[in-house]
Structure 1
Amino acid sequence: MLKFFFVFFILFFTAASGKPIDLEKKQLLQKAGYEITLMPDKATESLDYLEKNFILTDDEREKSDYLRIKSLYYQNNLTDALKKISANNNDLPISIFILKRSILNYLSISTNDVSATKKTSQNKDLVFSDEIILLLTKLNQNRTNNLNNNLLAVLEKAKSSNLMILRDDILSLFDYVATNKLSDQFLIGIRNLYKNDIEFDIVYSQFLLNNDNLEKAKKIILSLPKEQLEQSSNPKIKYEYYDLLASYYSKIGDSNNFSDSINKKQDLLKKIDQAKYSAKNKWFNISEEKNNDDLDLMITKRKNIILTIVIIGLISVTLILLRFYQTNFHIKEYQNFINKINALKDKKTPQTQTIPEKTENLLLKKLDDFENTDDCINPDISLQSLAKKLETNTKYLSEAINNHKQKNFNAYINELRINYIIGKLKNKPIYRSYKIKYLAEESGFSTHSAFAAVFKSVTGMSPANYIQLLKQKE
């Protein structure tokens, strides 16, 4: 019980005296974002503490990942930064995707494929990033008309955009405009948006020196945090700072400080160039491995498709063979049945004729007339119905068919039906395109299997083979 109250007291005290967890996470992310330009190593420490001690939401995780990659980039740890942005573009959040393009542009690696892959008109920051990159491309190619209007349009959009995500794109444009002395109004407007970002102050001071505005440049340079800049873990910003000092000392004729700034600048440049060279090689290796993985995946997919087709083919052939076997089996059964019937008929002793000759002759003439009609295809025809039609009895009709047609009534009718459909197949080619089932129904058979069996017993071949033979003869 004592232990329970102790735990309760600790939790209550923490909740009462400490900051809410969500607020503390937000403050840590803000702290990392504030430190990231000048002290990216400190930003990394804040992120490590955040991820170790708190459970992050998806949105917080995305912000943390973004800041961590940016921290690696600013610390000149480019190879590790590239590893974290090597995923497919569509798998990256918009913020990290924009950062990926900035890093690749910094390394002078083509980003055409990156721009083309991740397209969405629904994200304002990505669309604005595309516009800035396009404007920079046109500036480098001297293809820009109404430059001042374009720059002012960028400035206006920047006021309502995510300044952290778009920082590196805007900085690249800011640096180009400052270096080429294009628009002081644009530079002042952007610098006001990034008041606490020292790198914009450094670039703007360099612009002032290049335009011989020494006093204004001096005022900004002296306001820069010299100690923090010299201890900065961001080699790029330190290089720009010493480059600015070298320009400044050159203007005022301070040779000692000028020489010292040049030496520091050169040392940093070697480290930056070496990191860039290693990072480029790393990126090409990553791209090659990714291409190989994509190729292996494509080959695997094709193999699976081919295997699926082969399996489906084998199953189809098996089903066809099974169907063929079943059909042949039924045909053989029917033929065996017919043979047994015929054998039984052969064993019967011939009966003496009971039908009068005159009646028989008249009945045979009626049968000839019947054979010239299509009445045989009536599926309901029977010995009784035909006897009634021919005005005789079933005994006389059966005897006449047995003695003069040498077959029983069913075989007689079936043969007439087959002769009927053969006539259609010969004289009307359209019947050759009909299905066997339709031909069976057309000729009066109740099933297409019975039709096929009788057809083969009469013609010696299947309906399909007979139709094929007719086509070949033509």
Structure 2
Amino acid sequence: MRKLFFLFFIFFFSLVFGKTVDPEKKQLFQKAVYEMTLTPEKAVEVLDYLEKNFKLDSEEKDKVKYLRIKSLFFQNNLMEALKQISDNDEAYSSEIIVLKRSILYYLNISDDSDIEEISNKKDVAFSNEIMNLLEELNQNKSKNTEQQLASILEKAKSSNLMISRENLLYLFDFLANNDKGFSHDFFLKGISNLYSNDFQFRISYAKYLINNDETAIAENIISKLPEESLEQTTNLNLKYDYYDLLAKFSAKKQSGQNFKDAVDKKELLLKTINQSRFSAKNKWFNIVEDNLKSEQNNLIKNRQNILFSIIGVGFLVIVLISLWYFQINSQNKEYQNFITKINLLKEKKAPQPQVISEKTENLLLKKLDDFEKTEDFIKSDISLQNLAKKLETNTKYLSETINTHKQKNFNAYINELRINYIIDKLKEKPIYRSYKIKYLAEESGFSTHSAFAAVFKSVTGMSPANYIQLLKQKEE
């Protein structure tokens, strides 16, 4: 019997994992599948050995993950199975997502989030069809049950039976427990034939027969079950179903002691199973809560990052605008300073005349006339400041008066007085005509004879020597 069971699961394995592997790895995978239903803890040991001693490709790693979670599920180690799912959810294949849904359904938890994301895959689509019908049957909403069952049965014949097993088993159990009068017998028989060597389907079908008073056929099925293996199996749900079958069969046969023994064992197992379910359910809710908190924290962090980015960009914009403003302001200040300097230069070059009263102006002109009659202008230290002080006025008044009435600036005014002075000397005292130009320059107050000669020519139109020669010629 166990040999047939082994061959049956090898067939399943080849359907699910058709890729060629090396013989030793293939044998170990087959052994894990074989051990999974009756002794799932041994299947886990085989998978551990595979991971430790063989280099597995990505597809083989997915196989190991899938078989490990399924073994944990059969072993009723639901918390660890859920942990394995939650720790690696994003990396799992569609097969594991379907298995996850089966485990959560077993715990009466509805979670289709992953199913919707990959519903276009064949295995997932088939799982959806099965579970949707099961939900409709539970709610008495199914209208075309036979047609839907026929469709599922037909698809099951070409599906991966290992992947579809739990979903089909849930539907099978529901129909077996609720079908009276063999209205769905075609489906149950068809599925039983597909899973002819699967103990759990055979047990469920036997209970279906007992419910419909086909005790003899059920007894034949029971007689072919491996009693010792089922008594010792660590697959608690399989063992519970087996004791439940024995209890129903004993009740039908009115075998009181056998019924009591089966019920006692069943109730003891049910207590353990329910405790495991309760713990696993709480574990899953904690996982979901942690995931939600993690998502919320990530959302908060993302929002904070966005906010900080906005603040950072805003600060940078403010800094850039400030720098631009200060640069423009600095340029404006430099421009204003430049304009101010230009204006100052213009003011220096063209000072505005200071308004002098007529009385002051006339008095100053009188003093200038008196000054011109003296020989103070030939003094070497004569200056605008000295003369203003001598005439008891200020330099601005003096300069403005000379500019306005003498039509020349102060230096030109003094130089002209000096030239006129020396011309008078040359005309009145012939002795001066015999003096050197240097002496004439010093006599008239010039510091150099070249400056004297230049000013003399600008006033008379000729050089000092030519002018002296002209005077001599006139006397002759």
Asked if TM exceeds 0.5, the reply is yes
CA contact (8 A) 2:62 2:92 kept: no
CA contact (8 A) 2:94 2:118 kept: no
Q: Within 2, Cα distance between the matches of 1:121 and 1:94?
A: 9
Pair 1:43 & 2:43 matched: yes
Alignment of 1:104-115 (within 5 A): 104-115=104-115
Alignment of 1:381-396 (within 5 A): none
CA contact (8 A) 2:134 2:171 kept: yes
Q: Within 2, Cα distance between the matches of 1:282 and 1:128?
A: 28
Matched AA of 1:303? Q
List per-residue Cα deviations over 1:308-353 (Å, max 9, x = no partner): 11111111000000001111122222222222222222222489xx
Alignment of 1:402-441 (within 5 A): none
Pair 1:271 & 2:280 matched: no
2:22 match: 22
1:292 match: 293
Alignment of 1:52-451 (within 5 A): 52-87=52-87, 89-115=89-115, 118-181=116-179, 182-349=183-350
Q: Within 1, Cα distance between the matches of 2:346 and 2:67?
A: 100
Q: Within 1, Cα distance between the matches of 2:147 and 2:27?
A: 38
Q: Within 1, Cα distance between the matches of 2:93 and 2:112?
A: 18
Give unmatched runs, 5+ long, in structure 2.
1-19, 353-476
Shift of 1:307: 1.3
1:358 match: none
Q: Within 1, Cα distance between the matches of 2:28 and 2:211?
A: 39
List per-residue Cα deviations over 1:106-142 (Å, max 9, x = no partner): 0112224454xx4224310011111111111111111
Shift of 1:242: 0.8
Distance change in 2, residues 1:88/1:75 (3 Å): closer
Structure number with greater Rg is 2
Q: Within 1, Cα distance between the matches of 2:45 and 2:350?
A: 114
Shift of 1:42: 2.0
CA contact (8 A) 2:69 2:84 kept: yes
Q: Within 1, Cα distance between the matches of 2:176 and 2:83?
A: 32
Q: Within 2, Cα distance between the matches of 1:142 and 1:349?
A: 111
List per-residue Cα deviations over 1:84-110 (Å, max 9, x = no partner): 122475443211111111111101122
Shift of 1:23: 2.2
Matched AA of 1:344? L
List per-residue Cα deviations over 1:168-209 (Å, max 9, x = no partner): 011101111111114100011111111221100000000011
Q: Within 1, Cα distance between the matches of 2:26 and 2:344?
A: 100
List per-residue Cα deviations over 1:413-443 (Å, max 9, x = no partner): xxxxxxxxxxxxxxxxxxxxxxxxxxxxxxx
Shift of 1:298: 1.9
CA contact (8 A) 2:192 2:201 kept: yes
CA contact (8 A) 2:37 2:74 kept: yes
Q: Within 2, Cα distance between the matches of 1:45 and 1:346?
A: 105
What's the secondary structure of 1:144's corresponding residue? coil
1:376 match: none
Q: Within 2, Cα distance between the matches of 1:335 and 1:253?
A: 117
Matched AA of 2:149? L
CA contact (8 A) 1:132 1:170 kept: yes
CA contact (8 A) 1:37 1:234 kept: yes
Q: Within 1, Cα distance between the matches of 2:62 and 2:164?
A: 16
Shift of 1:143: 0.9
Shift of 1:81: 1.1
Distance change in 2, residues 1:52/1:88 (3 Å): closer
Matched AA of 1:52? K
Query: How many pairs are equivalent?
Result: 330
Shift of 1:54: 0.7
Q: Within 2, Cα distance between the matches of 1:136 and 1:88?
A: 28
Q: Within 1, Cα distance between the matches of 2:91 and 2:328?
A: 56
1:34 match: 34
What's the secondary structure of 2:117's corresponding residue? coil
Alignment of 1:4-15 (within 5 A): none
Distance change in 2, residues 1:311/1:349 (3 Å): closer
Q: Within 1, Cα distance between the matches of 2:282 and 2:351?
A: 104
CA contact (8 A) 1:89 1:114 kept: no
> RMSD across aligned C-alpha pairs, in angstroms?
1.9
Q: Within 2, Cα distance between the matches of 1:215 and 1:325?
A: 102
Matched AA of 1:345? K
Q: Within 2, Cα distance between the matches of 1:203 and 1:184?
A: 13
What's the secondary structure of 1:122's corresponding residue? coil
Q: Within 2, Cα distance between the matches of 1:246 and 1:334?
A: 107
1:404 match: none
Distance change in 2, residues 1:253/1:349 (3 Å): closer
TM-score (structure 2 length as normaliser): 0.66
TM-score (structure 1 length as normaliser): 0.67
CA contact (8 A) 1:32 1:67 kept: yes
CA contact (8 A) 1:76 1:234 kept: yes
List per-residue Cα deviations over 1:48-97 (Å, max 9, x = no partner): 22112111111111111111111111111111111112247544321111
Q: Within 2, Cα distance between the matches of 1:244 and 1:316?
A: 78
Q: Within 2, Cα distance between the matches of 1:88 and 1:43?
A: 20
Q: Within 2, Cα distance between the matches of 1:328 and 1:350?
A: 31
Shift of 1:247: 1.0
Q: Within 2, Cα distance between the matches of 1:212 and 1:53?
A: 53
Identity value in percent: 52
List per-residue Cα deviations over 1:212-243 (Å, max 9, x = no partner): 11121111110111111111110110010011
Query: 55-64 or 249-258: which moved more?
Result: 249-258
What's the secondary structure of 1:62's corresponding residue? helix
CA contact (8 A) 1:47 1:64 kept: yes
